[in-house]
Structure 1
Amino acid sequence: MRVALLADIHSNLAALDAVLRDANGQGFDACWHLGDVVGYGPDPDQVVERLVELRVAGVGGNHDGAAAGLLPLDQFTPLAAEANRWTARAIAPETREFLRGLPQMVREGEVTLVHGTLADPLWEYFSTYEAAERHFELQETRWSVAGHTHLPLVVRQPPGGAELDIVVPEHRTVVTPGPGQVCINPGSVGQPRDGDPRAGYAILDIGAGEVAFRRVEYDIAATQQRMAAARLPGPLIERLTRGR
């Protein structure tokens, strides 16, 4: 089974559509999203509509919870809070209902989906050794997939509790993790933070035991123009160019 993994779309329809076109060319059997469908970007309703059309399974992130009125905005940075405030005003009732219905964790066969970590699904970043240890203590499946950091990553907990094996993949890297439990972050579709502004995603081939990381060009300027028209914060607009 081949699964397209989409994380941190952040209301960026142009990036999402570019990723879906690329994924269709690669071939996949299912598509999962890993939270933060909305926030930051200008197209929350359209992104949710696309996911609903494609019957994409997934989990909620902290920005989804904020836009749906489930999380207080004082837990966010001022720029993120301003963007979430705009999103909450802009979204249609159906979008709000979709966001409110997203679970914090989903198990799909031998894969567990979460936005942050299994220890703290909405807020913890899978970015330290300690966070990884807490996560793997709770992971019951062979694979887990997460988002939140906006950085592509593969971390493996070998059998017997040996030291974690960490891979930071680049574009078109195919990683075959080997035995043990594995957590995959596909990077961000709509707000990359690794210095590469292209939309990022991954395809997990469960049968082959490997994951392929992909980067896709999209019309960044068009998204920035829509953000400016919506009067979203300037720094959020500018960072799309830098991928930071």
Structure 2
Amino acid sequence: MLDAHPRVAFISDIHGNIDALDAVLADIREHGVQAVVCLGDIVGYGGAPAECVRKIGDLCPIVVMGNHEAMTVFDDIVYLEEMPSSIRRPIELARTSLTDDELSWLRELPLVSKIGCFTAVHSSLHHPGEFPYVFRTEDARRNFKAQTTPVSFHGHSHVPIIWEEKGPVVKAHKPALANVRLSQEHRYTINVGSVGQPRDGDPRASYVIYERESRDVTFRRIPYDIESARRRIFSTRISGRNADRLSIGE
């Protein structure tokens, strides 16, 4: 079980990018991390949704639902015909690529999972079923009001960042590629970035390793075969825009 592992990797926003996922999982293994939590959006945008869902389903003891899973399995979430093709076509691909059992598994994913001293969510703990973004200080404040653990981890924006709550003060910290030790006296919500479609100008895959006892957080950036991921997108006739943005981290 997850409680037996002192080090946990958090991955999010894979978005059908099996090339990026495989590179991240290899890096996780190299660092001796045996527990992996997935923060949602396994599908969407990329060309290999079924492969990613199967790998995550086999590997991760904790997976929460992202908005792209919700769009895939719940028809009343959004009218797909009103969505841009960059979103609509990958969702249609996921619906036709996944088995009935895999679609049922996605449908049963929780929106929030609390594991000991931390909480996992795709977006914000404030109305998680509406999938709000945590972009501004006020967004982080709303999340902290709903947060019952010292630390929470999320994705959704595809941009890695640490939000810290110290009494009435909430501030953001841009993560560096080094250990960040979280204070025992403050609370945090941490965006782990995106495995499959980073949007911070760095095209390398992003994920986080969390040391539960020391509360050390390490942001990892992993290069992967972007051209292979682009070819998969083009082969499925998904919007070329989805392929182009991988090269520039947008």
Count of residues in correspondence between the two structures: 241
Output the TM-score relative to the length of structure 2: 0.92
Q: Which moved more, 1:75-84 or 1:131-140?
A: 75-84
What are the Cα deviations for residues 27-80 of structure 1, in whole angstroms up to 9, with x where unaligned? 224110101011111111111111122143120011011112352235855521
- 2:29 aligned partner: 24
Percent of pairs with identical residues:
35
- TM-superposed deviation, 1:89: 2.4
RMSD value, Cα: 1.5
What are the Cα deviations for residues 128-164 of structure 1, in whole angstroms up to 9, with x where unaligned? 1111010001111011000100011111111x32x11
Change (3 A) 1:98 1:207: same
- TM-superposed deviation, 1:83: 2.2
2:224 to 218, 222, 226: 218
Runs of 4+ off more than 3 Å: 73-78
**Which consecutive unaligned segments of at least 5 residues does structure 1 have?**
none
- 1:10 aligned partner: 15
- Kindly indicate whether residue 138 of structure 2 is the aligned counterpart of residue 133 of structure 1: no
1:62 to 55, 67, 72: 67
1:228 to 200, 223, 234: 234
Q: Which moved more, 1:101-110 or 1:120-129?
A: 120-129
What are the Cα deviations for residues 161-195 of structure 1, in whole angstroms up to 9, with x where unaligned? 2x11321113x222123121111111100010001
1:201 to 201, 207, 226: 207
Equivalents in 1 of 2:155, 2:114: separation in Å?
A: 15
2:87 to 80, 87, 91: 80
Q: Contact conserved, 1:151 with 1:188, CA < 8 A, in 2?
A: yes
SS of residue matched to 1:164: strand
SS of residue matched to 1:155: strand
Q: Contact conserved, 1:73 with 1:81, CA < 8 A, in 2?
A: no
Equivalents in 1 of 2:92, 2:127: separation in Å?
A: 23
Q: Contact conserved, 1:69 with 1:88, CA < 8 A, in 2?
A: no
- 2:3 aligned partner: none
